[in-house]
Structure 1
Amino acid sequence: MASVDNTGSSVSGRRRPGDLLHAGLVLTLLLGVWCVGGLEVSTGKVSFVEAMNGSTVLLPCTYSSCIGIKDLYFSWHYNDNGTIVKLCDAVIPTEGVNPKVSVKHDRVEFVGSPKGNNISILLWNITFEDEGDYVCFARNPKEKNRNHSAIFTLLVVDQLKEVDNTLTVIIVSVLGGVIGFVIIFMVIKALVVNFLLKDDEKNKECLVSSSGNDNTENGLGGAKADNKGTPKA
């Protein structure tokens, strides 16, 4: 039975501000958990690569989902100055099942593995025309078709830039010289200390020997002389 306040209105029929706040916090937490645990794709910590004209490059991409996948759809696209060109696509039925990849570019090869959530591709014999952004896309029906994408940028050059290691060589040389000087100093110090200790021991031995000789000459010799000078009764 609903209680009635002093105004005569039913308390159970009204929502208190505290209840609304509690419901809002619960909804926020649920949305936060959903966002954290949702589908994500990644092209790695470095989202670009610089490669020589005519070489073969790996375009990396992996996906993750805390609740698992079912009929996960993925694709690779190339952004050709605003024109989106599909390179390949496929559906992964479930975890650990190899997809049947449909490759739509003659120099593209799928090298991913569902066991590692890997959907990477190789691009063979690249040219300057291949330079640009490559989009890895995935959609997971198990998460109400939640989708995510990541961009990997390819830079094509005639030759790779040579890294100037002059500063590194200088630093290593200086550190090596300092370490060598410290080692030599420690060796010399050890030799000097060892020499001083041996010299000190020799001095102590000489003092002991000299003290023994003095006692013999002054003590025993004097006693004999006194006995010889004692007159007989």
Structure 2
Amino acid sequence: MPVWQLHCCSLSHHATSLFLLSHRGVWSAGGLEVSTGKVSVIEAMNGSTVLLPCTYSSCIGIKNLYFNWKYNDNGTLLKLCEAEIPNEEVEPDVAIYHDRVEFVGSSKTSNISILLWNITFEDEGEYICFARNPKEKNRNHSAVFTLIVVDQMREVDNTLTVIIVSALGGVIGLVIIVMVIKAMVAKFLRKDDEKNKECLVSSSGNDNTENGLSGAKADNKGTPKA
């Protein structure tokens, strides 16, 4: 088969795939996405208030976006709140089904987060943020946020940090001591060299006086008379 026919077939197949995907409403890129952020697991103190974050995004925008929050109670999903957002400019009228839940999101920032007040150990578990966008042929997506309730926050073990810092301090101190010793030794060596030079100059002068002068005197003696 000629090369141009192969390219033609490939393009045709690719176009057909895109056509089917677009009509099924399952665009893989830029579709509706829901996210609970980079940290989806958090530990919180018993009795504190916790933010359950959730945001949505869609490259083609939203229309009558439906969302809800649910709590996974050992396999049973309990609805905490729900609402519908007509568009990005309209704030949702949120229905709350839990007396300690507060909606703190905003359609202008694509934020559908909630607060959970005065948490207890019974509140521990998975919280599911769900959204559905009719503008994308009811494409939907969800994200899970896990809450762990504790009596007290875990202390960070700084033992390794202390050891490293101590080791570095010891090394630095040792280097300084070595440098000081080297400086002192070099100073003493310089003094010894100066003393040695003085001794050498002095001794060489004495030798020249003794040998040289005697030699000179010998040279200056007159020739013996015959």
Q: Would you say same fold, with TM above 0.5?
A: yes
More displaced, 85-94 or 208-217?
A: 208-217
- Note the 1:42-191 alignment, pairs <5 A: 42-81=35-74, 82-91=76-85, 93-94=87-88, 97=89, 99-104=91-96, 105-114=98-107, 116-191=109-184
2:13 partner letter: G
Task: Tell me how far apart the structure 2 counterparts of residues 88 and 189 of structure 1 sit (CA, whole Å).
Answer: 76
- The gaps in structure 1 that reach 5 residues or longer are 1-15
Instruction: After TM superposition, give the deviation of residue 79 of structure 1 in Å.
Output: 2.4
SS at match of 2:28: helix
Aligned-residue Cα RMSD (Å) equals 3.6
1:30-50 Cα offsets, whole Å, 9 max, x none, are 86x931322211112332222
Using a 3 Å threshold, how does the CA distance of structure 1 residues 42 and 188 change in structure 2: closer, same or farther?
farther
- Identity %, equivalent residues: 71
Contact map agreement 1:60 1:120 (CA 8 A) in 2: yes
Q: Is the 8 A contact 2:66 2:82 kept in 1?
A: no
- Asked whether the equivalents of residues 76 and 89 of structure 1 are also in contact (C-alpha less than 8 Å), the reply is no
Count of residue correspondences: 212
Cα-to-partner distance string for 1:167-220 (whole Å, 9 max, x where unaligned): 444444344433433343333334333433443344335534654665577668
Going from structure 1 to structure 2, the CA distance change for 1:182 and 1:69 (only over 3 Å counts) comes to farther
Distance in structure 2 (CA, Å) of the matches to 1:118 and 1:138:
11
Rounded to whole Å, the distance in 2 between the matches of 1:85 and 1:100 is: 17
1:24 equivalent to 2:16? Answer no
Using structure 1 for the length normalisation, give the TM-score: 0.68
The residue type equivalent to 1:24 in the other structure is H
Closer, same or farther in 2 for the Cα pair 1:184/1:74, shift >3 Å? farther
